[in-house]
Structures are given as C-alpha cells and as structure tokens.
Structure 1
Amino acid sequence: MRAPIRTLIVDDEPLARRGLELRLAAHDDVEIVGQCGDGATAIAKVHKLQPELIFLDVQMPGTDGFSTLRHIPAAEMPLVIFVTAYDHYAIQAFEASAVDYLLKPVDDERLRQSLERVRQVREQRTASANCSQLLELLGGLSGRAPLELDEALQPDALEQLQRDDRLSVRDGQRTLRVPLHNIRWIDAAGDYMCIHTDDDTLVLRATMRELERQLDPQRFPRIHRSTIVNARRVAETRPHTNGESFLRLDCGQELKLSRSYRDRLSLLQ
C-alpha cells in the first residue's frame, strides 16, 4: 500500500483548522502531521515535518500564504492547496503552482476533488522519480551519465550499454570493469586471457568466447583464433604472405590478421 499523504494544515482560525481536520478524517490515505496558525511557524514545520501536502490559508497575520511559500526552499516544497474565503486570489494561487484553490466554508465534494488531484500529481511524481532512478541505474551499469528515456527503451538497452563502455571480467572473487577505450588488444595464452590496456596487462582465467559475447564485433573484431583487437586503436594495416596481414596499433604493437579472419579487415578500413 502507498504511504499516507503527510499533510500540514495552516490557518489562523482554529475553527477553520478543526473543520478541515474533521473533513479530512473521511479520507483514509491522508495523515495530518501538524497544524499551525501563521506563516513563520508553517515554514519551520515544513522544514521539520517534511509534509507532502499543505492546506494553506491566504490571509494570515504577519506572513501571508504567498509570502510563506516564497520562504520555503524548492527542495522542501510540498503540494499546496490554498484555502480562503476570497475568490479573487485564485489566479495568483495557480501562478504559485497550487494544486487547487478551495473557498471557505470547504465543501466535501470539492475537497474530494482536490485530494484526487493531489493523488494524481503524487503518482506522476513517483513515476517520474522511479524513471529517473532507473535511467541513473542503467547509466551506472554502463559507466555513463544518466540516460535519456529513448535510449533505455531500446529492446537490448542493458546489453548494449554494458557492451558500449566497459568489459566485465571475473578475477577470482572480484569482478573487474575495464573501460573499453583503454583496451588495445586481447589474446589467449593457454587457459588464460591477456587483456592489454593502456595501463597494464590483465591476466585472468577465461575463454575467448566469454569475452566475445560481451564485445561489439564492430569495435572489437576477432583477427586471429587467439586475438581480438580494438579497431579504434589500429593505426596501419600492411599485407603479408598467404593472404595474411599485419596490423600496427597506435602503441606500436603489431598483430597478425589471419587469412581465415581477413573478412574482418573491412571493419578496420
């Protein structure tokens, strides 16, 4: 079940506060966490209680309803329903992004409609927050900034993201995430794989097939039965005998392009 709507009532008239309290008691999902009769106290209670909704009188001694809102930080701003005996504040209320504007004495049906608006806005905010968290999570998995929604909606979004920026490899009990742009080439050494990066050479127990499954063949083509290369690091190709070629990387390393993998040469040109 959803958490109750934490609600603060702000009105300088005790009878008005009590009347609203009684009407709100008919709504099971509303929890009144506090009441007060002036703007300064309201600002302090919003900071302390963190209500999700505030019923706010417009005309109060000292700080009126609009001034009260101007003193509440945006990060703490609850949903606002103005409650007043005067209808000429309505435009100003909606300019202040109020959810609704109720006239005193508060009508039960209008109160129900206002709370329904609050529930709808609440659902939209929750959906938006969940979406943002999901996009941030997906971005984190790929080592990227939070994604745009259309990126995350791609059918193979997570797989593609993981392939786009980092290679995840097991090293004993650890999982290493190697930035793809740092990888120069990968080659096999018996039961081990050597991942040659700009900083180091990682040696770990794995298979060529396991690494290939994570890598985009357009960016990391296999050029030999025991070698994968980062295509972006290839600086030069030169032919050799028997249909083979040599690739020179930007670091000076030379790798052989096997005849059986020469169709991959087009990916490097």
Structure 2
Amino acid sequence: MTTKITALIVDDEPLARKGLSIRLQEFEHIELLGECQNGLEAVTLIPQLRPDLVFLDIQMPGLNGFQVINKLKELQQPVPLVVFVTAYDTYAIKAFDIHALDYVLKPIDEKRLATAIEKVTEVFKLNRQGDHKYKLAKLVAEFTGDDCEDILKRLASGEPIETQRYPNILAIKDGSEVTRVAVDEIQWIDAAGDYMCVHASDATHIMRRTMKELEEDLDPRKFVRAHRSAIVNIQFVNKMVSHISGEYHLVLTNGSELKVSRSHRDKVKEMIRI
C-alpha cells in the first residue's frame, strides 16, 4: 500500500503509548502523527491533526474513549477510524466488538496488532469508512455518559456484560434473490419439512434453515418456542386459551392459532405475563 495511513495514539499510560508507538514502526504505511495522554487532549488534537486512524484507550480519566468520540460528534468534528485499546479480557470487549473497527488487548500482542492493522488497511482499500462511522455512531448512542461509566466499572470488577446482539433484519434467500424481513414484523415461524415458514405481517417467506438456528438468532425476550416446530413473537399474541382436552393454544392478533406443547407451556405462560 503506497498511501500512508496517519495515526494518533490516545492512552493515559506512558508505557502503553511508548510500546504501541514502537510496534507501529514495523508498519511502513502507518505514519504516527503524535500521542495524547488523555481524552481531553485527544478532543483538541484530533481536529487539528485530522488523523485517519486513532488507537483509543477505553478507560481514561476525564473523558473515556467513548466520551471522546461523543465529544467530537458534539463539536461536529470528523471522527477517524478507531481501534480500541483495552486491558479488559476478550469476553468483555465483545460488547463493543460489533461496533469498533477492531480492538487490541493490553499488553499488546504483535500478531493481534498486525490483524488490526490489516483490517484498517482493508477499509482504506475498499473505501468503507462510511460503514465504520455508522457502527461508531451506534456505539456512541449505546455507551455514553453514565451508562458508559457504569459499564466500565462493571467490566473492571469482573461482572458479566450482556454481549449477545440480535439482528433487526432476517435475510431470506430465495434462489438469486435475498429478501430482508424486519424481525419485529415476524409473527411466528413454523417448520414445513426441511424448510421454515416465516410468517411476517405482510407475507409468508420460505427459507432453508433449522429451527435451532433461527431460535439462536431471535431475541428470547420477544420470541418463544411454542412447540417443537414453532416459534412465536410474543408481541403478536392476543391470548392463551386452554381447551377441555388440556391442550393450550395461542391466539394471535391476526386470528391464527398455535398449539402449545406441554414441554414449552410453562415458558410460554411466563413470557405472556412479562
């Protein structure tokens, strides 16, 4: 890559800054513009230097890494590509992984840094900065202010963080076409042989996936297994009816009825009460 990628290091630990700057010398296409020892300094220097990339420590006094990004947005300043630098273990950083371009753990591993640099380089080659900035905007929206500080404290104390993210869109492939179905519009899903019938508000879509795979992709706070071959979106359940035979059925808002099996009855009841 002939084009230089300009970079800035933001970290309140002098040894961490020095170690990273030394390692970055191994990458000829990365040009280090400078270092910042805290978030406030970064907010001042980033608009001046306009780096392409910032290695941003998450936890710093004054302004943490997320708040640095938020402050730049408030000041209507361009937000560069960001690779987070953190001392937190991998399980915790997964909470941010889908938003950041990448992250490296302290102490920095040379191979892990090389992987992060490779991702940065790919973004520049493919000109995908817009996609990264969208993810970063989502990150700022979710982890700023008191919420961010609370998350950092919980991570520091070793408390578990909710890391799983559920998609808002279900991509259903049919031959050469892919239909994007809003998950919130899905009323229920049932099995038909090797295929799944996804009943949305506007239409029924057919896809070749297993019930287990679909169940893992759907938010368990909204979707529940009614029986072995059906998953239902609780927000479309109008009522649960018991029959003389002892069977239970769910009546959906569109009038459809779904049988509830004995093994899933208690879970369904619990979800309906929520």
TM-score class, shorter: 0.3 to 0.5
**TM-score in terms of structure 1 length:** 0.46
Larger Cα-atom Rg: 1
**TM-score in terms of structure 2 length:** 0.45
